[in-house]
Every structure is written in structure tokens, then in C-alpha cells.
Amino acid sequence: MRRTAACLLTVSLFTIFLVGACNSTKRVAAELPPAYQPTPQSTPVEMGVKSAPKLADVQEAVKRVFKDAAVIDTRYSPQFVAGDFNGDASQDIAVIVKPAKLDQMNEQYPSWLLRDPLSSQSPRTPLKVEKDEILLAVIHGYGANDWRDPEATQTFVLKNVAGSDLRVHTGKEFVSANSGRQLPRPQGDLIGETLKGNQGYLYYASSTYSWYDPKTFKGEAPKPGMVHQRKVVRAHAVAQQTPEVATITAEELKAKLNNNEPVTIIDVRSSEGFASSTSTVKGSFHFKVRKLKSRLSFPPLKDLSKDREIVTYCACPKDQSSIAAAQILQAAGFQRVKVLQGGWNEWLRVNGPVQSKPKG
């Protein structure tokens, strides 16, 4: 009897152990799913970082760029739209403004670029803002905070194109809506609007904004005064896999310097060209192209952030040396490299600020 009771007790204990083990396994299985819940929930949070622009934020951006020279024109609806209009992966804001202080809007060296997309005149032709004129200001974004960033000051002020029913179109939407028509090559999103009864688009290409009318567009004519007409340029005699290089005009670079925007300027003129000059672009460093790669291991280039904006320039007829230098920097991981259109000669022509060459 004792042996039988012992056996029964053993069996009972073993059964309890199995049941407990099964129940324990089931509890673990029931508790596992919550541990995986945050993964699918995290996606909407990241997508919501670029929130829709609010009037207070846009007013702050306008104040940052224009100080008291211009204000938002509240008679329009919508008054602003947001998109990546210059194709640099940073969100921009386009806002309808009107002059508040005309003398400041027409100062000799403004912190913005005044353009007329409907004019066939050279961008070098001086323009003026008229009293009570309605303007479209496009503030380009900077860094992760886009157009809200305190460093986001590069701005185009556009005459004669402040229309109604502003809306943003991606490049794909633009092509689909105008299938079969001759089209320009915009670099980013487009601004659709109704202007004087006609529906059209504002788009950014060749370092400026242009107007596209589906009924009258016959191809992009060369813009007077522009050195390069393509969206991007390539150095000659390079492999097809060489990265493409964006460009910047002398006036755009001047505006950045006037706004004290963080930009590193690299002078890659030849030894002869550099020696024959008494000055360089203000704040620039001079390096020979063939030594640029090795100089990346030493200050000041060694300490540069990979998202730092860098502009290269030379004195070549087709900017060959500055393009080659920009491609070396891109290959080293720098993400925001541009070539100064027309180089040193164009900089002198627009009276860009210079500094004396360092001695030695």
C-alpha cells in the first residue's frame, strides 16, 4: 500500500508539473505580442514630423527673412503652401507677401533674390518692388527643420506670379496631368495656381524660378546670363557613374554670405590663376584639385560635417576644376556640394565680397 501510495503521489506530482509547464508556456505565448506592438506604431510618428504649416510659424519665417520689410497678404486663400520646390530634400514654404517698407524691399544688397518669372530680360537687369505690389516669396528649407530652421534664409521673391488657388504638385503628378505636352525639367515640386485666368505652374530649374503655361510653352529657351542651362553638370571625360553636381549662382552665394549662412567655400583655381590674383572669395580656402583628396584628412576639411554646404569655384571656361573638386567631395561623403556658376570671373562681375590672399 505504501508503495502504491508513493507511486500515485509521484504520478500526481508529475501531472501537476506538466500542467504547470503547459500553463507557463501558454502565458508566455500570450504575453509575446505586446512586445512587438511598438514597431508598427512607430511609423506614423515619424511620418508626422513634417507637420502642416501653421500661420504663426509662417509669420515667424517671414519675419526672419524680411524683418519688417514685408508681411503676409491675408487677403489670399490659401496664403502659403509647403513643398520641396528646389529638389534638395528639404521642405520649403511659398507665401504671398506684400511690401510693408518699400525702401527696405529695394535696398542695394537685399537678403533675397528678386526675380520676375514672366520676364524675358536677363536676371542681371535690376528689378524693383513697386508700392502695394503682391509678391510670392519662396523660402528654401535648411536641415532637418526645413523652412522653420533659423538658418533657412535663402529666399526668392517673385514678381507678377502671385495668383490664386495655390497648390503643390509632385513631378509625377505634373507629368501625368500634362501628358502629351512639351514639358520643362523641374528640380522639385511645382506650385500650381491660377494667374490672370490661366492655370499654370511655377517650377525651379537652372537656379531660378520659371513659369509654365501648358498652352504656350514651347521649350526652355536659354536664360540670358546663365552659364549652365542644365539642371546639373558633369565634368568632361568622367565615367558615367560619377555623381552629378548641382550649381549655385554668384548672386545666390552673395545672398548666403550676406545672411551669414554656414557655407564653406573652396578655391581650386590653378597655381597660375591663384598666383596672378591678389584676392579670393571672402572666407574661402585654396587647395589644388590634385591634392584635395589628401587634404580631407587635415583641418579645416577634416572637421567639416558631412551635411555642411560646400561651394567650389575655379577660373576655368567651363568650371572643369570646380566640378572635379565637387565630385571628390561627394565621393568622400559630403552631401551638399555645389559649383559656383562662372567661377571667379562671375564673382568679380557681380562685385562679390573678396578677401586678400593669405601671405606665404
Domains and CATH numbers, the chain: 55-212 (no CATH), 246-356 (3.40.250.10)
pLDDT at residue number 244: 72
Q: Are strands 190-195 and 198-205 parallel, antiparallel or unpaired?
A: antiparallel
pLDDT at residue number 248: 94
pLDDT at residue number 162: 96
pLDDT at residue number 50: 65
Neighbour-count burial of 245, counting CB atoms closer than 10 A to its CB (0-12 exposed, 13-18 middle, 19+ buried): buried
DSSP string spanning 282-330? TT-EE--HHHHHHHTTSTTGGG--TT-EEEEE---TT-HHHHHHHHHHH
Type of residue numbered 197: G
In angstroms, rounded to a whole number, what is the distance separating the alpha carbons of residues 126 and 59? 28
pLDDT at residue number 221: 57
Below-70 pLDDT ranges, the chain: 1-50, 122-125, 220-243, 359-360
pLDDT at residue number 123: 58
pLDDT at residue number 17: 43
Phi, psi for residue 329 in degrees, rounded to 5: -65, -40
For residues 95 and 137, the answer to whether their CB atoms sit within 8 Å is yes
The sheet that has 190-195: what strands, in order across it? 164-169, 190-195, 198-205, 208-212
In angstroms, rounded to a whole number, what is the distance separating the alpha carbons of residues 150 and 207? 22
pLDDT at residue number 32: 40
In angstroms, rounded to a whole number, what is the distance separating the alpha carbons of residues 228 and 314? 15
In angstroms, rounded to a whole number, what is the distance separating the alpha carbons of residues 199 and 216? 11
pLDDT in tens, 99-136: 999 999 998 778 888 999 998 776 566 899 999 999 99
- Name beta bridge partners: 335: none
pLDDT at residue number 120: 78
For residues 208 and 255, the answer to whether their CB atoms sit within 8 Å is no
For residues 253 and 351, the answer to whether their CB atoms sit within 8 Å is no
Coil, helix or strand at residue 354: strand
Tell which residue, 157, 145, 139, has the closest CA to residue 64: 139
Phi, psi for residue 35 in degrees, rounded to 5: -65, -20
Give CA torsion, residues 314, 316, 318, 324, to 10 deg.
-50
Helix (H) or strand (E) holding 92: strand 92-99
For residues 304 and 334, the answer to whether their CB atoms sit within 8 Å is yes
Cα separations in angstroms, 50 against 85, 292, 307:
15, 37, 19
Helix (H) or strand (E) holding 336: strand 336-340
pLDDT at residue number 180: 87
Any idea which residue has 561651394 for its cell?
311
